[in-house]
Structure 1
Amino acid sequence: MTRTRKIAIGIVGGIALLVAVLVVVVATFDWNRAKPMINERASAALGRPFAINGDLSVRWERETGEGGWRSWVPWPRVVAHDITIANAPWAKAPHFATLKRGEFSLAPLPLLAQRVVIRRIQLTEPAADLERLEDGRANWVFTLPESGEPSPWVLDINEIGFDKGRVGFVDQMLKADLTVLVDPLGKPVPFADVAGKSFVPQDGSAPAPRDYVFGWKVDGKYKGLPTKGEGKVGGMLAMQDPRQPFPLQADVAIGGTRASVAGTLTDPVNLGALDLHLKLSGASMAQLYPLTGVTLPDTPPYSTDGHLVAKLQNPGGAVFEYRDFNGKVGDSDLRGDITFALGAPRPKLTGKLSSKLLRMADLGPLIGVPSGGGAAAASDKSADAPAKPKGGKVLPTQAFRTDRWRDMDADVSLDAARIVHASKLPLSDLSAHVVLQDGKLTLDPLRFGMAGGTMSATARLDGSGTPLTGRVDMRARRLQLKQLFPSAESMQKTLGELNGDLAISGAGNSVAALLGTATGDVKMLVNDGVISRSLMELAGLNVANYVVSKLFGDDEVQINCGAADLELKRGVMTPRVFVFDTENALISISGTANFKDETVDLDISPDSKGFRIFSLRSPLYVRGSFGSPDVGVHVAPLAARGAGMVALGVLLTPAAGLLALIAPSTTDENACGPLLEQMRKPPKAPAPAKGK
């Protein structure tokens, strides 16, 4: 054997011996001795105390997934027990995160290229406690040490698995205190089985969503409301590819609101986009405001089912589109498309809605009137439910939430093909356009088909200041009397119509407050009608029923013309002219109706036509509150006539005694002609004055 060969064999043998010794040392090394160094380095990197409190071991094993000569290279498998990361000094929980056991295998060859490749990390009972204070401090924000240049090392983790985990979330800003438990499903659930085949691309243009791997449950409070729910999500591997849709499914109840979603989240690391089937239901849409920041009106119980598409990284702000949804609000159906855009200077809600059947009672809460929509409405005790007026009042006192008006803008239209009213008011259709801009709400137009005619209005409410100011203009044209009273047989013979105009303005944060300060005009004209006690009973007008019975008994009386020109000044309505020209008499009404304190003081005076017997047709009065008025006959005139009747009855025959009850004839038999001239003048309303 030559000297050179001996030297070569010696070198190779020495290297082999060195490797063998190194392998033996590494294999038998007690890695717990390295824990202080590892803990110190990790703590410095995180800016928080890090500790491996349990056993730390390293085993060298061949990786079965490798091929060729690489399969002979052993990989170190690291196993650590009882790992903790300390919490922020101000946090309540002792640790930010804990881990019962962590295990991973490290690829040795990529280390030569400054790449840390971990095929899989397996976590046992991971737990984290997230907390944020009212001042915005969050314990998940770490103070990392500053480095001059970015590290050349690259971390590549292929997959993260765990058996079960817990996340606590306490956020004073969101008024949240939640606990989330996550468990593997055991067997992956196909995406199409949960979300439906409609969410799976059929043409291969986009990658198909992966299966659901984990199940989760949540319990606690969000926005101060009881919260409970459960759902499914995909595996951690599905989160790495931004083009790969990440599967989501959830069924959550927050207070009186319930949401059910199934679909995908694109680019979950950066919250790219949502594509979900969304079902939403609750006691009132107004209860969505604290959860979403979307200003919606008070409504009866509702439910919707539609397709939610969201572009979360849109340059101008996230955009949410609720497409082709169908729903119910109370007993009314609703469908259409809604878009909510988070942009400057404030978010904006736009949409086009339609309804085949709209129940008027379901629109009542829009102006603060309880819907009375059955048990669900009766059981709704939330702060968003319209309050009933107190102290015998009848005008709606529920305050308009003008602070919410300033939080967003809106442009929404609604068309309803058919309208149903509980009292059989003959409404046929509805068209409305709502615009909310800078805290100013406009309804233009608000148009009803009613009794063969039209009812059109515009309303402008300015909630940008306090108190709210508003103006309403309304026109009623060619309302057919026989359709207004379809159950009255006597009305079916008449061709009469009702026409009217209204223009009022006021200031106040409720319907009652607005009317209590209102100033403006109300004009109305009725021709060729019929009035009777039975008709008033059908209309449900108890006071009018009494008045008609006193004036005309049980007879049907032809109305030639009814005309009203009413002045409203600072909440007090006074008739300029308020007359009914009937076949027997001219009925005039005078007095006041005070909307500020909801009281009425009216006199109803009948003047007979010609020399006719008008038995006990004395002037009447209506006094008291709107809710409980007092109706009766004026005592003084009736007593005088009664005394005259007694005196005459002593001296004259019984027939002569009736002379004391005969009212003198009036020279003006019909007031409609002069009133028509007044009605041609348009109603006027001044600019609303605040605080009056």
Structure 2
Amino acid sequence: MRIFWRTLAVLGGVVLLLLIAIAIAIRTVDVKEFIGPIQQRVKEATGRDLTVRGGIDLKLGLEPKLVLDDVTLGNAPWSKQPQMITAKHVEAQIELLPLLHKRFEVISFKLIGPTIALETDASGKGNWEFPSLSTAANANTQAPSGATLGSFAVGDIAVSDGAVTFRDGKTGEVTTIVVEDFSVHARDALSPVSGRFRGKINDTAVALEGDFGPLDQLMRQKWPYPVTVQGDINGKKATVDTQLTVKDSVVGLDNLKVGSGSSQITGKMAVVAVGTRPKVTFKFDAPTLWVADLSFPAIAAAAAKAVAKSKYVFSDQAIDVGALKDFDAEGEIAVGTLTLLDGRKLGQVHVQFTLLNGKLDVPLLQATALGGTVLGHAQLDASRAPNAALSMHIEAKNLDLAAIVAAAGVQREFRGGKTELKADVNAHGASPRQWASTASGNIIAVVGPATVSGGKGNPDSSLDRLAGAVNPFRDIDATTQLHCAVIRLPLVNGVATVDRSIAAETSKLGATASGRLDFRDETLDLAFHPQIRQGVKIEIPQVAELVHLRGPFASPAVGIDATATAATVARLGAAVYTGGLSILGESLLAQAKGDPGAPCQIALGHGAGTTTAAAKPAGNANPAATATQDVGKALGRLLGR
């Protein structure tokens, strides 16, 4: 919207420039003879050439009308386009009686079919930067358009069927504004001003109406100056209400109220134009804030399109962090309920930050999310953009396991399972994917005791398939008693090497995982090793010696090591069939020490994964022969023979 307001300001300046030309025209007896003086005056004021190809005409009457056709204004020497402004038709209707007193009051001013090309060069200088129109017109002037310019006044201004383009010389990006209708009305210099705009900014439809204080008040710098704007932006209700103040080099917006859709923001804001970069300060409060209300459709559509084409979980869409070098800032925002684009909600959001010389420091970042609390701080050094350095520390406590797995696409009932998360990560890059692929640090998540409903899982969920493959009791037990779960990822340059630092324990089994997660190409290769607890009855078809989770983060595949599992089935089947536990020493069975958290302790780095020697066979004179016979019987039962 900054470009939009800048465009309106430039458009107002263009109107002023043309009104000056009209004022000169009225003083001349033969309007066709004073095109030269008009062009000279504009040249002095702007340094640009004004051309009136269609000529100029004065239509006399009770309200004389001055008409100019095919008008152009030259561009800056470095600009891409030869003309900054072209207009098909310019029309001004003038009060007759004030002319007797050499006062020029324009009843209405119309600008039809203008095309305005705004742009900046590589250093940020705009092609609209030329000497002040008010200074060039009259050193003793009062207010411009809408009030008085010397002995000059205008009531209604209208612009229709116009087009404005803004080209950023640094990035090459072009913003297009279609002006269907723009109007400003003021009865006189001391009366309030009303305005209206209808058109499009890029592909976003905008329809706004506003009420402002008298322009005489603005030009005399009698603060505060009231500003109220309301309307629709792409079909969403939008409002702005504030008190404008300008003192020295500080522009302030006090008692600021900004509304968009269902969101409402209140607070204050100031822009300090001192030094080489402006500084923005603000403090905002919002009871409810929807991110969708702050997103322009064109930007959201482009982001959605990029995500749809990407095969990665972390977006590879570059973030223009380099823009942080263009200004300094200090701000604070508090939001009661923040609704994200995917519908998830964060509560009690509180953020404080400072931005200095391209270095963003966020000392406070807190919110309630997923049933718990999140507290963190971060730093982003954009001075080296696009290779910006990111440092982040996050701690989350009392998170709800049910909410976490639901966000991961698992639909299953959970009770309990309070979760804690801690992350200390350093990275560099210009997109979430680059930050993930260069991350170094540690991420630890610990889940407490929980009761998980049993039954068949969702076949489309990788997590559900993994849980079903690792836990042979899940599909037959009404509930699973989870004692603990741990995920510890030591990251080095985007790669996490897992050596039993992922684990889970239930009342019947435990499991540890080893392998690798590579955030550089977003692939994982993990082997999960289940351990059945001593004394737990096992049905042969349920047993898996080793479960693999391999593939891309977005859709990993779950597989069972068939060779290892077949051997284990044979050995374990004999024990089950005879009713004995002759292979307690096998790696499938955990040592029974009454410590259900042993694998979790190992995952946290607090324990050592030890196994026991094989237990003695129970009461068999020839255990080897018995085992051989029982293997055949067990396999026979397994195959239905």
TM-score band by shorter chain is 0.5 to 0.7
Q: CA deviation at 1:481?
A: 4.5
Within 5 A, what are the aligned runs for 1:411-450?
411-420=330-339, 427-450=346-369
User: Is the partner of 2:554 in helix, strand or coil?
Assistant: coil
For 2:493, give the aligned amino acid. R
Query: What is the CA-CA distance between 1:477 and the residue it aligns to?
Result: 1.8
Verify the 8 A CA contact 1:645 1:657 in the aligned structure 2: no
CA distance in structure 2 between the partners assigned to 1:332 and 1:164 by the alignment:
37
SS of the equivalent of 1:563 reads strand
1:307 partnered with 2:241: yes
Contact 2:243–2:256 (CA<8 Å) still a contact in 1? no
Q: Counterpart in 2 of 1:82?
A: 32
Deviation of residue 597 (structure 1)? 0.2
Q: Which residue of 2 aligns with 1:616?
A: 543
Return the letter of the residue paired with 1:305.
T
AA of the residue aligned to 2:533:
K
Over 3 Å counting, the alpha-carbon distance change for 1:308 and 1:132 in structure 2 is farther
What is residue 578 of structure 1 aligned with on the other side?
502
Counterparts of residues 205-224 of structure 1 (less than 5 Å) = 212-217=155-160, 219-223=162-166, 224=175
The reply on whether 1:354 has 2:354 as its aligned counterpart is no
The answer to whether the 8 A contact 2:545-2:568 is kept is: no
Which of 74, 77, 100 pairs up with 1:131? 74
1:338 pairs with 2:262: no
2:132 is matched with none
SS of the residue corresponding to residue 589 of structure 2 reads: coil
Amino acid paired to 2:433: A
CA contact (8 A) 1:349 1:410 kept: yes
**Is 1:250 aligned with 2:196?**
yes
CA distance in 1: counterparts of 2:378 and 2:333, whole angstroms:
16
Local SS of the residue matching 1:553: coil
Give the aligned partner of residue 278 of structure 1.
Answer: 229
SS of equivalent residue, structure 2 residue 365: strand
Aligned letter for 2:268? D
| Identity fraction in percent | 18
- Distance change in 2, residues 1:601/1:361 (3 Å): farther
Secondary structure at 1:388's aligned position in 2?
Answer: helix
Any residues of structure 2 matched to 1:287-686 within 5 Å, and which? 303-311=237-245, 314-316=247-249, 319-321=251-253, 323-328=255-260, 332-359=263-290, 377=297, 387-388=306-307, 390-420=309-339, 427-450=346-369, 452-466=371-385, 467-481=387-401, 491-492=414-415, 494=416, 496-532=417-453, 542-550=461-469, 551=471, 552-554=473-475, 555=477, 556-576=479-499, 577-614=501-538, 615-641=542-568, 655=578, 663-666=588-591, 669=595, 670-671=597-598, 674=601
Q: Distance in 2 between matches of 1:385 and 1:347?
A: 32
- What TM-score comes out, normalization by structure 2 length? 0.65
- Aligned residues of 1:397 and 1:510 also touching (Cα < 8 A): yes
**In structure 2, what is the Cα distance between the partners aligned to 1:585 and 1:439?**
52
Deviations 1:189-243 (A, max 9, x none): xxxxxx9xxxxxxxxxxxxxx99445443512231514214344457x956xxxx
- One-letter identity of the residue aligned with 2:331: V
Aligned residues of 2:489 and 2:497 also touching (Cα < 8 A): yes
Q: Give the C-alpha shift of residue 673 in structure 1.
A: 7.8
The answer to whether the 8 Å contact 1:346/1:409 transfers is: yes
Q: Is the 8 A contact 2:156 2:185 kept in 1?
A: yes
Q: Counterparts of 2:367 and 2:65 in 1: how far apart (Å)?
A: 64
C-alpha distance after superposition, 1:141-191 (max 9, x if no partner): xxxxxxxxxxxxxxx9422447765475644536999xxxxxxxxxxxxxx
Taking the aligned partners of 1:611 and 1:420, their CA distance within structure 2 comes to: 49
Work out the CA distance in 1 between the residues paired with 2:362 and 2:576: 67
Task: Kindly indicate whether the alpha-carbon contact (under 8 Å) linking 2:457 and 2:468 is maintained by their aligned counterparts in 1.
Answer: no
Flag the 1:638–1:234 CA change in 2: closer, same or farther, 3 A: closer
Note the C-alpha offset of 1:500: 2.2
Unaligned runs of 5+ in 2: 1-20, 86-100, 121-125, 129-145, 147-152, 167-174, 608-641
Deviations 1:386-415 (A, max 9, x none): 731645222112211123212222333222
CA distance in 2, matches of 1:320, 1:574: 52
User: 2 CA distance for matches of 1:564 and 1:464?
Assistant: 34
Aligned partners of 1:176, 1:409: CA distance in 2, in Å?
25
Return the offset for 1:381.
Answer: 7.1
- Choose 1 or 2 for highest CA Rg: 1
SS at 1:417 equivalent:
strand
Q: What is the CA distance between 1:465 and its match in structure 2?
A: 1.0
Aligned position for 2:91: none
Consecutive unaligned residues of structure 1, counting only runs of 5 or more, are 1-49, 57-76, 105-119, 141-155, 178-194, 196-209, 284-300, 366-375, 681-692
Could you tell me which amino acid in structure 1 is paired with residue 257 of structure 2? F
Q: Provide TM-score, normalisation by structure 1.
A: 0.61
Residues 11-58 of structure 1, C-alpha deviation per residue, up to 9 Å, x if partnerless? xxxxxxxxxxxxxxxxxxxxxxxxxxxxxxxxxxxxxxx9xxx9x9xx
Q: Distance in 2 between matches of 1:228 and 1:271?
A: 30
Change (3 A) 1:625 1:260: same
Match of 1:189 in 2: none
**Contact 2:533–2:591 (8 Å) recurs in 1:** yes
Q: Which residue of 2 aligns with 1:148?
A: none
Q: CA deviation at 1:446?
A: 1.6
Q: How many residues align?
A: 502
Q: Quote the offset at 1:451 in angstroms.
A: 5.0
Change (3 A) 1:503 1:482: same
Checking the alignment, whether the CA contact within 8 Å between 2:516 and 2:524 is kept in structure 1 is yes
Distance 1:362 1:579, change over 3 A: farther
Looking at structure 2, the residues matched to 673 and 657 of structure 1 have their Cα atoms a distance apart, in angstroms, of 29
Which shifted more, 516-525 or 77-86?
77-86
In the alignment, the residues of structure 2 paired with residue 386 and residue 578 of structure 1 have an alpha-carbon distance, to the nearest angstrom, of 35
- Distance verdict in 2 for CA 1:671–1:83, change over 3 Å: farther
Measured in 1, the distance between the counterparts of 2:456 and 2:281 equals: 45
Name 2:209's counterpart in structure 1. 260
Q: Distance in 2 between matches of 1:307 and 1:677?
A: 54
C-alpha deviation, 1:544, in angstroms: 1.6
The 2-side partners of 1:421 and 1:471 are apart by 23
Shift of 1:590: 1.2
CA drift at 1:325: 1.6
Q: 1:596 aligns to what SS in structure 2?
A: coil
Per-residue CA deviation, residues 58-85 of structure 1 (Å, 9 max, x unaligned), is xxxxxxxxxxxxxxxxxxx974242452
Return closer, same or farther for 1:261/1:403 CA change in 2, 3 Å cut-off: farther
Contact 1:461 1:469 in 2 (8 A): yes
Using the TM superposition, give the Cα deviation of residue 532 of structure 1 relative to its aligned residue in structure 2, in angstroms: 4.7
* Structure 1 partner of 2:614: none
Structure 1 residue 275, shift from structure 2 partner: 3.5
Shift of 1:422: 8.4
Corresponding letter in the other structure for 2:487 = A
- Which amino acid counterpart does residue 135 of structure 1 have in structure 2? W
Q: Do the aligned residues in 2 keep the contact of 1:133 with 1:172 (CA within 8 Å)?
A: no
CA RMSD across the alignment: 4.7
SS of 2:435's equivalent?
helix
Contact 1:356 1:418 survives alignment (8 Å):
yes
How many Å separate the matches in 2 of 1:422 and 1:262? Answer: 33
Aligned to 1:99: 56
1:230–1:672 CA distance, 2 compared to 1 (3 A)? same
Is 2:179 the partner of 1:228? yes
Inter-CA distance 436–157: structure 2 relative to 1 (3 Å threshold): farther
CA contact (8 A) 1:405 1:463 kept: yes
Counterpart amino acid of 2:52? H
Query: Tell me, what secondary structure is at the counterpart of 1:396?
Result: coil
